[in-house]
């Protein structure tokens, strides 16, 4: 029909660009991961079968990075959820100056990651940064936060949570606003306390938004790059190196494009499994709950 | 409680501000007589080569170009998508959500290849192409929701009056989409400013760097050679444009995100 | 090219099917120029679907729409020169009354002077002159309806369609506006189709009524025809308030008698027992029980009621139906 083809034509340019930006990389990586393309081959792709993939499986650094990235993602997202929920609940109540409060809490999210990563570097600086100054003021001795793996990792998570918490908070706030007030009032009339209302009414109704937030943030967190490169450089001793950073290094520093593509494709697959799996699990739990509820 | 939240959100920013205004000596030895405050750090950063506000300009240019391009592509796509039914609509919708979740850094190698193939490196306008592509999923989803919010009979009435598609968009639909266009545009603008990995690989000329890259490069130097005061000044100035934008435009931003969340 | 016999709107075997569901099933209907036809029926009966097919907003699965002999079916809505007043009025919220009315003309390239002239005329006609600069949000329901009407009339359309234009107004306003609406819309040169679910409105507005149910036409004719000579039970039950009594007289035969055609007397063919009465001021509605089932009778407010009432009626008011199909049976003997 005329109308059908017209609307398809409208979508075409956008879909074309999307294909170039999203589909092409997947295809390229797939092909490239089966090539050797590095300084050794004069930067020209030479097919080498599954050699890259074999190397990947034995690559300790890759697996360590994978573990580190996963650990980072899970901790970061968990903290963001809790913090974001708190923020959302806080902003949900009618407070004076709520609009400005909301705007101000949004600021961390709006800033470029690298800009604030630099800021964090200074704050943690040993011995001149304000954090160490505060510690010294309290009588302790300054500490090299960025030279020990545990603390570096802690602050990387903290910096990430600081930046993305407002986003999660806003998302959950949107969800809170869809809950009709009458439901809350009905429960309150029955004598339910605030915590009970939270548990029995708010959280169950918020589940779709929580799920959305988790899935989105999980996916984003698995690709963490900007923050790590500027804040810790992947150190100390590669303890905060993420998969994305490793892939980047392979491509831009070691100039091993074939392997870099392999790493990135593997990261993609990891992402797919994790996010897809979580989504599937959630859908199944959700449907089951509905079936039980209806029964 | 509110105070805690504010402190948490603004603390690091305020500290940067403070640092940027301190004299170098004051940084190292907090207890100093005399006036520790100075604007010298700012002067230092602004007088660099190329001058710092050049980077701000570059970022703004790219962000504006990206926003315009994204909206130009997203509006017809969202409209067309809204007209679809059944499998195609659901399929494309799902694809867009999936694309929106992809961490953009993972795409850099392929995009670098495209830059090389078509000689697009070191061109700020060309950079807006991948940026637009990366922003499209979110933009299309948000705008589609907004189109869906418009009453259906409105377009019917316009069709009956003989308005063609272009006329309907121009006279009826788009004027009513103002707030949605604004909030989507702002979100795209913010995302474009924030982007790091692609710009890192596409731009190497010193005077064409976008802000995040410039800042990262400054930070790449050794801790002991770079005056941290100047550092902080750079950070503050890098943050200022976006801070202002958010403060001024917080309502459309929030409503845009909210609508996206609800419809998503 | 069309003979005078082709003048007016004709719907020929018009049908629409979506996703396996038949919204409209082979409708045949004609509307003469200047005639006002009401499409009446319960929700989901296909009346709005028909309207949209005539307007060209939805494509027809079967059949044709013909105007003065010419086939409109392949034309787009804009090309058909059809005007429609929507149930929600569909006024452009961001434009003033003037802007709303002008848009169609502006887009078609009509010169400013001509636009103003036509605008002035229609504003005058509908008494909207003072509201010219207001936005729809600042208008009352009745005012918005007038603007929607003005927009339709302004185009000098060849067909006029109205989709429940009064359903958003309160009952009192509806009654006041009905004669006004009829005067403005009907009796011009174009055929008019008026969709409503309210039978009183249909009876008051239209020259003829087409009653639809389940995508099929049940009967078309003047209000009087549908009332006195319904084609089937559905038509008989839909028209007339309070609704007709349907009595199970004998297997295979169902008797329909309207409450206003029944009376209570000392003697009569059927006995009845009074259950309840509703006093309406100018009338009374009596609820009775009879060997044939529950019966309602409409009578005067001061009607005396016999102790053991019996039902009576005139034979000419009897309507017989098949209990299963609802089809009208003719030539049934006395009870």
| Whether residue B74 has pLDDT greater than 90 | yes
| Whether residue C59 has pLDDT greater than 50 | yes
Please state, rounded to an integer, the average pLDDT across all residues of chain B. Answer: 79
* Domain assignment present for C236: no
Domains and CATH numbers, chain B: 57-205+251-263 (1.10.3720.10)
* Residues within 8 A of B (CB atoms), A 92-151 only: 95, 99, 101-108, 110-123, 125, 128, 130, 133
Is A21 in the B-facing interface, judged by CB distances under 8 Å? yes
Q: Which residues of chain A make contact with B261, given a CB cutoff of 8 A?
A: 170-171, 174-175, 209, 212
CATH number at residue C177: 3.40.50.300
Are residues B106 and A25, on separate chains, in Cβ contact within 8 Å? yes
What's the DSSP call for residue C311? E
pTM here is 0.82
- B22 phi and psi angles, rounded to 5 deg: -95, 150
| pLDDT for residue B45 | 67
Q: Report DSSP letters for B118-177, one per residue.
A: TT-TT-HHHHHHHHHHHHHHHHHHHHHHHHHHS-HHHHHHHHHTT--HHHIIIIIIHHHT
Distance from CA of B176 to the nearest CA of C (A): 7
Same domain for C284 and C219: no
Is B161 in the C-facing interface, judged by CB distances under 8 Å? yes
Tokens of A127: 């011995």
* Domain assignment present for A14: no
Is A210 in the B-facing interface, judged by CB distances under 8 Å? no
Same domain for C222 and C255: no
Are residues A212 and B193, on separate chains, in Cβ contact within 8 Å? no
* Domain assignment present for C204: yes
CATH number at residue A170: 1.10.3720.10
Which residue range(s) make up the domain with A149?
Answer: 70-243
* Domain assignment present for C267: yes
pLDDT confidence tier of residue B157, bands split at 50, 70 and 90? very high
Are residues C86 and B156, on separate chains, in Cβ contact within 8 Å? yes
End-of-domain residue from the set C211, C231, C251: C231
Q: Report DSSP letters for chain B, one per residue.
A: -HHHHHHHHHHHHHHHHHHHTB-HHHHH-S--SS--B-SHHHHHHHTSSS-HHHHHHHHHHHHHHHHHHHHHHHHHHHHHHHH--HHHHHHHHHHHHHHHHS-GGGGHHHHHHHHHHTT-TT-HHHHHHHHHHHHHHHHHHHHHHHHHHS-HHHHHHHHHTT--HHHIIIIIIHHHTHHHHHHHHHHHHHHHHH--HHHHHH---GGG--HHHHHHHHHHS-TTTS-HHHHHHHHHHHHHHHHHHHHHHHHHHHHHHHHHHHH-
Is A215 in the B-facing interface, judged by CB distances under 8 Å? yes
Same domain for C168 and C101: yes
CA distance C63 to C73: 8
Tokens of A248: 């980047």
| pLDDT for residue B71 | 94
| pLDDT for residue B250 | 67
Average pLDDT over residues C58-62: 90
Same domain for C119 and C8: yes
* Residues within 8 A of B (CB atoms), C 112-171 only: 151, 155
CA distance C45 to C217: 9
Same domain for C97 and C161: yes
- Closest to B175 (Cβ–Cβ): which among C79, C83, C94? C94
Which residue range(s) make up the domain with C282?
Answer: 242-329
CA distance A267 to A269: 5
Answer yes or no: are the C-beta atoms of C323 and C249 closer than 8 Å: no
Are residues C92 and B172, on separate chains, in Cβ contact within 8 Å? yes
| Whether residue C162 has pLDDT greater than 90 | yes
| Whether residue C283 has pLDDT greater than 60 | yes
Q: Which residues of chain C make contact with B163, given a CB cutoff of 8 A?
A: 78, 103-104, 107
Q: Which residues of chain A make contact with B133, given a CB cutoff of 8 A?
A: 17-18, 20-22
User: Half-sphere exposure of residue B249, counting CA atoms within 13 Å on the CB side?
Assistant: 22
End-of-domain residue from the set C231, C255, C283: C231
| Whether residue A256 has pLDDT greater than 90 | no
Which chains are adjacent to chain B, needing at least 3 Cβ pairs under 8 Å? Answer: A, C
- Closest Cα in chain B to C91: B154
Phi-psi region of C49 (alpha: psi -120 to 50; beta: other; left: phi over 0): alpha
Same domain for C67 and C45: yes
Tokens of B165: 């598609």
By CB atoms closer than 10 A (0-12, 13-18, 19+), residue B24 is middle
Cβ-Cβ pairs closer than 8 A, A with B, add up to 242
* Domain assignment present for A258: no
| Whether residue C308 has pLDDT greater than 90 | no
Whether omega for the bond prior to residue C182 falls within 30 degrees of 0, making it cis, is no
* Domain assignment present for C322: yes
* Domain assignment present for A173: yes
Q: Which residues of chain B make contact with A173, given a CB cutoff of 8 A?
A: 258
| Whether residue C53 has pLDDT greater than 90 | yes
Answer yes or no: are the C-beta atoms of A204 and A230 closer than 8 Å: no
pLDDT in tens, A49-78: 778 888 888 888 888 888 888 999 999 999
CA distance A242 to A259: 16
Answer yes or no: are the C-beta atoms of B83 and A11 closer than 8 Å: no
Which of B75, B110, B195, B229 has the most A C-beta neighbours within 10 Å, making it the best mutation to test the interface with A?
A: B110
Same domain for C27 and C109: yes
Give the containing element (helix H, strand E) for C222. Answer: none
pLDDT in tens, C109-135: 888 888 888 888 888 888 888 888 989
* Domain assignment present for A125: yes
CATH number at residue C247: 2.40.50
* Domain assignment present for A32: no
| pLDDT for residue C65 | 92
Answer yes or no: are the C-beta atoms of B137 and B104 closer than 8 Å: no
Are residues A112 and B212, on separate chains, in Cβ contact within 8 Å? yes
* Domain assignment present for A266: no
Q: Report ipTM for this prediction.
A: 0.81
pLDDT confidence tier of residue C3, bands split at 50, 70 and 90? very low
CA distance B22 to B31: 12
Closest CA to A124 of A115, A112, A133: A133
Average pLDDT over residues C67-96: 90
- Closest to C104 (Cβ–Cβ): which among B161, B175, B176? B161
CA distance A108 to A96: 22
**Most confident by average pLDDT, A125-134, B50-59, C143-152:** C143-152
pLDDT confidence tier of residue B65, bands split at 50, 70 and 90? very high
| pLDDT for residue A202 | 81
Same domain for C165 and C18: yes
* Domain assignment present for A135: yes
Is A7 in the B-facing interface, judged by CB distances under 8 Å? yes
* Domain assignment present for C202: yes
| Whether residue B224 has pLDDT greater than 70 | no
CA distance C218 to A138: 91
- Closest to B197 (Cβ–Cβ): which among A170, A177, A225? A225
Same domain for C296 and C148: no
Total domains in the fold of chain A: 1
Which of B219, B228, B236 has the most A C-beta neighbours within 10 Å, making it the best mutation to test the interface with A?
A: B219
| pLDDT for residue B239 | 74
End-of-domain residue from the set C183, C198, C231: C231
Same domain for C142 and C10: yes
């Amino acid at each position: 029909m005329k109308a059908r083809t017209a609307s398809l034509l409208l979508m075409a340019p956008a879909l074309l660009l999307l294909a170039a930006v999203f589909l092409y990389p997947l295809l390229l990586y797939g092909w490239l991961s089966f090539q050797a393309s590095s300084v050794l081959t004069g930067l020209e792709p030479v097919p080498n079968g599954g050699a890259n993939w074999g190397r990947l499986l034995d690559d300790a650094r890759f697996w360590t990075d994978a573990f580190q990235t996963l650990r980072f993602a899970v901790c970061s997202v968990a903290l963001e959820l809790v913090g974001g929920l708190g923020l959302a609940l806080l902003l949900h109540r009618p407070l004076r100056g709520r609009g400005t409060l909301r705007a101000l809490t949004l600021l961390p999210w709006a800033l470029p990651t690298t800009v604030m990563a630099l800021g964090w570097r200074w704050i943690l600086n040993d011995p001149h940064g304000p954090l160490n100054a505060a510690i010294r003021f309290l009588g302790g001795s300054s500490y090299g936060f960025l030279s020990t793996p545990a603390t570096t990792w802690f602050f990387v998570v903290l910096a990430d949570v600081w930046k993305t918490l407002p986003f999660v908070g806003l998302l959950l706030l949107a969800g809170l606003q869809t809950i009709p007030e009458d439901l809350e009032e009905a429960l309150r009339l029955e004598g339910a306390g605030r915590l009970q209302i939270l548990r029995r009414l708010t959280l169950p109704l918020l589940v779709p938004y929580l799920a959305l937030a988790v899935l989105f943030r999980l996916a984003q967190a698995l690709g963490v790059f900007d923050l790590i490169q500027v804040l810790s450089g992947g150190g100390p001793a590669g303890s905060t190196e993420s998969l994305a950073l490793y892939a980047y290094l392979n491509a831009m520093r070691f100039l091993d494009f074939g392997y870099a593509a392999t790493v990135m494709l593997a990261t993609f697959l990891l992402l797919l499994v994790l996010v897809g799996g979580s989504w599937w699990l959630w859908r199944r739990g959700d449907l089951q709950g509905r079936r039980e509820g209806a029964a | 409680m509110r105070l805690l939240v504010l402190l948490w959100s603004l603390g690091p920013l305020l500290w940067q501000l403070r640092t940027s205004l301190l004299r170098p000596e004051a940084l190292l030895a907090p207890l100093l007589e005399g006036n520790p405050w100075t604007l010298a750090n700012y002067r230092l950063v602004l007088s660099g080569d190329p001058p710092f506000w050049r980077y701000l300009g570059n970022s703004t240019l790219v962000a504006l170009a990206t926003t315009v391009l994204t909206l130009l592509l997203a509006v017809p796509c969202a409209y067309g998508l809204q007209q679809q039914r059944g499998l195609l609509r659901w399929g494309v919708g799902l694809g867009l959500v999936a694309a929106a979740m992809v961490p953009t850094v993972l795409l850099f190698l392929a995009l670098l290849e495209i830059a090389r193939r078509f000689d697009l490196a070191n061109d700020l306008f060309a950079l807006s192409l991948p940026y637009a592509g990366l922003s499209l999923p979110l933009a299309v989803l948000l705008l589609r929701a907004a189109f869906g919010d418009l009453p259906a009979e409105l377009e019917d009435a316009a069709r009956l009056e003989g308005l063609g598609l272009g006329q309907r968009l121009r006279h009826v639909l788009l004027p009513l989409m103002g707030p949605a266009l604004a909030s989507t545009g702002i979100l795209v603008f913010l995302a474009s400013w924030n982007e790091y990995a692609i710009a890192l690989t596409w731009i190497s000329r010193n005077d064409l760097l976008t802000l995040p890259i410039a800042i990262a490069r400054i930070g790449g130097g050794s801790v002991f050679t770079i005056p941290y005061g100047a550092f902080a000044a750079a950070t503050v100035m890098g943050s200022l444009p976006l801070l202002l934008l958010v403060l001024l435009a917080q309502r459309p931003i929030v409503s845009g995100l909210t609508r996206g969340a609800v419809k998503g | 090219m069309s003979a005078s016999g082709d003048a007016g709107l004709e719907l020929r075997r018009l049908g629409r099917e979506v996703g396996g569901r038949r919204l409209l099933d082979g409708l045949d209907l004609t509307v003469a120029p200047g005639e006002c036809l009401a499409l009446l029926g319960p929700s989901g009966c296909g009346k709005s679907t028909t309207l949209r097919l005539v307007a060209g907003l939805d494509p027809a699965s079967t059949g044709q729409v013909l105007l003065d002999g010419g086939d409109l079916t392949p034309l787009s809505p804009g090309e058909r020169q059809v005007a429609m007043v929507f149930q929600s009025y569909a006024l452009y919220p961001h434009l003033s009354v003037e802007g709303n009315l002008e848009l169609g003309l502006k887009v078609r390239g009509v010169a400013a002077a001509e636009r103003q002239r036509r605008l002035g005329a229609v504003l005058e006609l509908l008494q909207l002159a003072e509201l010219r600069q207001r936005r729809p949000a600042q208008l009352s329901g009745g005012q918005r309806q007038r603007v929607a009407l003005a927009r339709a009339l302004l185009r000098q359309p060849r067909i006029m369609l109205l989709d429940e234009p009064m359903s958003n107004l309160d009952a009192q306003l509806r009654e006041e506006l009905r004669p006004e609406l009829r005067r403005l819309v009907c009796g011009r040169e174009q055929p008019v189709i008026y969709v409503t679910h309210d039978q009183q409105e249909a009876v008051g507005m239209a020259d003829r009524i087409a009653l639809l149910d389940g995508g099929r036409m049940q009967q078309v004719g003047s209000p009087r025809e549908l009332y006195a000579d319904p084609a089937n039970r559905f038509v008989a039950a839909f028209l007339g308030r309070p609704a007709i009594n349907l009595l199970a007289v004998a297997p295979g035969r169902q008797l329909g008698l309207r409450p206003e055609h029944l009376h209570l007397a000392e003697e009569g063919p059927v006995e009845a027992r009074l259950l309840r009465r509703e006093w309406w001021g100018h009338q009374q509605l009596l609820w009775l029980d009879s060997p044939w089932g529950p019966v309602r009778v409409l009578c005067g407010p001061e009607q005396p009621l016999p102790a053991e009432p019996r039902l009576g009626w005139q034979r000419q008011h009897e309507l017989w139906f098949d209990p299963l199909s609802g089809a009208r049976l003719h030539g049934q003997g006395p009870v």
